Chains A and B, each alone.
Chain A
């Protein structure tokens, strides 16, 4: 596009269009920055451990289900630990049907209330899945290759 050759009124209109986009972009950007906390769908374990999540209010907590942490109680009671794969861990209690994709080593998002003692009592558990796809045979081969390691994805 030869900018210099454009007629002046067209160049003005082009600048006006660019200005409109830049202006709206700035406005929307500022709004999103102001609303940043509300747009995040869930609190990470680190935020909950650090005491940045409100206690006694309905919130969402998200993390990876720690391997070997799922304990079934009577009926549909279940408890498990979610972590950020670093140091922060939060115990979640739930009574109900878990989604099909719920498994150890996978990401979950739980909606519920954080108690004073740091236990998260969930009334809904959603399963996250990562962006990796592979055929079952490949996953089996990978699992055989390093049996001691979890086969599931690591991203949350």
Chain B
């Protein structure tokens, strides 16, 4: 198992495997994004209280889930980099940050647009919203720290430490609506109970969540492949690949 772990850690192996996987992820994410968006925005029923404005959840919920989930994956990459000093993990961390930041930004913006007609406010210093804003700053901090430090080794380790330590924010986001009085409602989904919405609503939502995951992996792989080519530009295999 360790053997496989280290083999996948080689940039060249990753480049080859990801090259084969990429078309499937691209096709899958485009297909599911179209299916989920049309289903959710046009065919799913409106909400009995909020009417059609509840449809923004088909964008808001998946982007919020991916914002947190991408941070977790990035932090795991950071831990792998710190412990095993695998260079590919550093590439993964660096490439995940801008995508995660964009998804967090999207979650905040769509939440704000949803909040105005339903709650009556664009923004409130509510625990859920504030902790999500902190998540955005963590992503931006990681991007800034990397570009501020000279030397790839040191910058990589510093960003990895920041990413790993920032994981503390994730349970705060998750439980903010349970621990404190907040404007944001509690979660509609849990592992132990039935969803608080009918299947005709949560099915398109599920499609959108899977689509966002596929999109994230697509974007992540594409960025990583480009970064690998830059970092490995002096190696034989990249020279051959480019000249071929």
Contacts and interface: CB of A to CB of B under 8 A. Distances in A.
B188 A135 contact: no
B185 A131 contact: yes
Interface string A43-65: 11000000000000000001000
A22 to B, nearest CB: 9
A42 B164 contact: no
A139 interface: yes
A136 B46 contact: yes
Interface string A16-36: 110011001100100010001
B117 A100 contact: yes
A142 to B, nearest CB: 9
Interface of B: 1-2, 45-50, 54, 57, 79, 82-84, 117-121, 124-127, 161, 164-165, 167-169, 172, 179-183, 185-188, 196-198, 200-201
A41 B124 contact: yes
B115 to A, nearest CB: 9
A133 B119 contact: no
A149 interface: no
Contact of B165 (A20, A109, A131): A20
Nearest to A152: B49
Interface stretch (A73-81, A112-120, A121-129): A121-129
A126 B121 contact: yes
Interface residues of A, number: 46
Contact of B168 (A2, A28, A155): A28
B116 to A, nearest CB: 9
B127 A39 contact: yes
Interface of A: 2, 5, 10, 13-14, 16-17, 20-21, 24-25, 28, 32, 36, 39-44, 62, 98-101, 106, 109, 124-140, 152, 155
23 contacts: A10-B84, A14-B83, A21-B164, A36-B180, A40-B180, A41-B124, A41-B125, A44-B181, A98-B120, A101-B50, A127-B118, A129-B118, A130-B186, A131-B186, A131-B188, A133-B196, A133-B198, A134-B47, A135-B47, A135-B48, A136-B47, A136-B48, A138-B48
A20 B157 CA distance: 14
